[in-house]
Amino acid sequence: MDWSVFIKENLDIFLGGFFSLVGVIVGAILTSGFTFFIEYLRAKREEKLHLKRKREETYTKILQICANIVIRVKCDNICSPEELDNLNNLNMSLQIYGSKNICNKFYEIQQSLLDEPDKAQARLEIFKDYIRKELSIKD
């Protein structure tokens, strides 16, 4: 039996097998490409959600501590060292997760909390509204 005769007789089987193999390879490449793309988009979305959650958590803690300081300064004219330590510890979280605008606003009102307790509540309300606007929280 001659190979050329064998190939000529079975050419349609060889071509069918070859195109089937090419189709499987192209399908696998497309599937893996789309899967990679979808996973990439999902990872980006989860990263944004994680950052937003951390910002919400940090901003909430800062507002709670600032409100406690305002109340304590108005009532006692004293601020406890623990509250100031908590505020300083949250400074690092704010620098990591907070936006530059929020950091700048926070530094503006931070000193006024202790120096001008009468105006501090109004500034804290403005700061809270600014945070709500950045986090896209609507009433």
Q: Which residue ranges make up each domain of the chain? A: 3-134
Dist CA 135 CA 97 (whole Å): 12
Buried b / exposed e over 71-110, threshold 16 CB at 10 Å, is ebbeeeeebeeeeeebbeebbebbeebbeeebeebbeebb
- CB-facing half-sphere around the CA of 121: CA atoms within 13 A: 8
DSSP 51-70: HHHHHHHHHHHHHHHHHHHH
Digit-coded pLDDT (tens) for 88-111 = 778 788 888 888 888 888 887 777
Residue 21 confidence (pLDDT) above 70: yes
Least confident of 22-31, 49-58, 73-82, 94-103: 73-82
Which regions of the chain does DSSP assign to beta strands (E)?
A: none
What is the percent of the chain with per-residue pLDDT over 70, rounded to a whole number? Answer: 91
pLDDT recorded at residue 40 = 97
pLDDT recorded at residue 75 = 66
The neighbour count for residue 125, using CB atoms within 10 Å, is 10
Helix axes 100-115, 81-97, angle to 10 degrees: 160
pLDDT recorded at residue 129 = 86
The rounded mean pLDDT for the chain is 83
Give residue 1's pLDDT band: very low, low, confident or very high (50, 70, 90). low
